[in-house]
Amino acid sequence: MATRVFAPAKVNLALHVTGRRDDGYHMLDSLVSFAPVGDWLIVTEAEGLSLTVEGPEAAGVPTDAGNLAVRAAALLAGARGAALRLDKRLPAASGIGGGSADAAAALRGMAAHLGPCAGQPERLLEERGEAILALGADVPMCLLSKPLRVGGIGEALSPVALPDVPAVLVNPRLPVSTPAVFKALSARDNPPMPDPLPQMQDAAALIAALRGMRNDLEAPARAVQPVIGAVLDALQGQPGCGLARMSGSGATCFGLFTEPTEAQAAARALQAAHPDWWIASGLLGDQSELAMPRVDEG
Please report, as ranges, the residues that interact with ligand C5P according to CB under 6 A: 25-26, 28, 136-138, 153-154, 178-179, 182
> Of 178 and 288, which has the nearer Cβ to ligand C5P?
178
Q: How far is the CB of 123 from ligand C5P (least distance, A)?
A: 22
* Strand runs labelled E in the chain: 2-20, 26-44, 49-54, 82-87, 148-151, 156-159, 165-171, 243-246, 253-256, 278-284, 294-296
Q: How far is the CB of 83 from ligand C5P (least distance, A)?
A: 25
Find the catalytic residue in 10, 87, 88, 216.
Answer: 10
> What are residue 163's phi and psi, to 5 degrees?
-70, 155
Q: How far is the CB of 154 from ligand C5P (least distance, A)?
A: 5
According to the annotation, is 100 in a ligand binding site? yes
> Of 8 and 248, which has the nearer Cβ to ligand C5P?
248
According to the annotation, is 92 in a ligand binding site? yes
> Of 111 and 217, which has the nearer Cβ to ligand C5P?
217
Q: How far apart are CA 257 and CA 207, in angstroms?
A: 8
Q: How far apart are CA 39 and CA 36, in angstroms?
A: 10
Catalytic annotation present for 183: no
Closest CA to 263 of 163, 165, 168, 169: 168
Q: How far apart are CA 125 and CA 154, in angstroms?
A: 12
> Of 137 and 200, which has the nearer Cβ to ligand C5P?
137
According to the annotation, is 96 in a ligand binding site? yes
Q: How far is the CB of 241 from ligand C5P (least distance, A)?
A: 28
Q: How far is the CB of 236 from ligand C5P (least distance, A)?
A: 27
Strand partners, 295: 3
Q: How far apart are CA 130 and CA 128, in angstroms?
A: 6
Catalytic annotation present for 138: yes
Instruction: Report the DSSP pairing between strands 26-44 and 2-20.
Output: antiparallel
Find the catalytic residue in 138, 146, 216, 286.
Answer: 138
Q: Please, are residues 145 and 107 in contact by the beta-carbon 8 Å criterion?
A: no
> Of 30 and 171, which has the nearer Cβ to ligand C5P?
30
Strand partners, 18: none
- Catalytic residue numbers, as ranges: 10, 138
Which residues are annotated binding-site positions for ATP? 91-101
Annotated binding site: 91-101
